A and B are shown apart, each in its own frame.
Chain A
Amino acid sequence: GENVEQHPSTLSVQEGDSAVIKCTYSDSASNYFPWYKQELGKGPQLIIDIRSNVGEKKDQRIAVTLNKTAKHFSLHITETQPEDSAVYFCAASRDSSYKLIFGSGTRLLVRP
């Protein structure tokens, strides 16, 4: 089955700096890659996603890149702000699987 590995497990950056979180997946048939943000005491919430027919997607300060050949995808957050502090999860799925497989999460701390 699919396995998703996520790095780093914790990341501390200065406000205004960029943050990058990386994930690798094992199933070459995976074609959907979302990123979720989980704030303290809450459930995860989708922030951006990408499909395998696209190499990059941006939404304001957030971007996701996908390298299908290497089977890895990354989340990029620019101009980080304290409210970006949270746990971020990557995930992967493929058509007809009905389910997402999540990475182990990255705790991001943005220092004011």
Chain B
Amino acid sequence: NAGVTQTPKFRVLKTGQSMTLLCAQDMNHEYMYWYRQDPGMGLRLIHYSVGEGTTAKGEVPDGYNVSRLKKQNFLLGLESAAPSQTSVYFCASTYEMGLSETQYFGPGTRLLVL
């Protein structure tokens, strides 16, 4: 099993450009999450999904959109990138909160917005 994979690993954008970050998991997990990690602020939840076709807002959803068209994939979109979105983005998945809450994280995507 590859676990949780993220594409791309690193990206540089100019302000106003758009991009999509892809997260894929091969563990048949129901729940998937997108976090951003900034120095001194830990991991902040952007959006999450409790199953195929569902999405919900986390702590810091503004400026991002997500889609979960397939159970194994969770996409994070930036429609118009801003320098404040420079961060490291982590995807995570878990089987089901309340039963087995271990979240498995991907290796991260480092995004720089100029």
Contact = CB atoms under 8 A, between A and B. Distances in A.
- A and B: real partners? yes
Interface of A: 1, 6, 9, 32, 34, 36, 41-46, 49, 89, 93, 95-105
Interface in B82-103: 90, 92, 97-98, 101-103
B105 A43 contact: yes
B97 A97 contact: yes
Contacts, number: 60
A98 B48 contact: yes
24 contacts: A1-B59, A6-B42, A9-B40, A34-B103, A41-B108, A43-B107, A43-B108, A44-B43, A44-B103, A46-B102, A49-B102, A93-B97, A95-B98, A97-B97, A98-B31, A98-B48, A98-B50, A98-B56, A98-B97, A99-B48, A99-B97, A100-B101, A101-B45, A102-B43
A89 B42 contact: yes
Interface of B: 4, 31, 33, 35, 40-45, 48, 50, 56, 58-59, 90, 92, 97-98, 101-103, 105-108
A42 B37 CA distance: 12
Contacts of B35: 102
**Contact residues of A: prevailing secondary structure:** loop
Nearest to B98: A95
A46 B98 contact: no
A89 B41 CA distance: 11
Contacts of A96: 98
Contacts of B97: 93, 97-99
Contacts of A89: 42-43
Contacts of A45: 105
A49 B101 contact: yes
A103 B101 contact: no
Most A-side CB within 10 Å, residue of B33, B58, B101 = B101
B101 A43 contact: no
A97 B101 CA distance: 11
Contacts of B44: 102
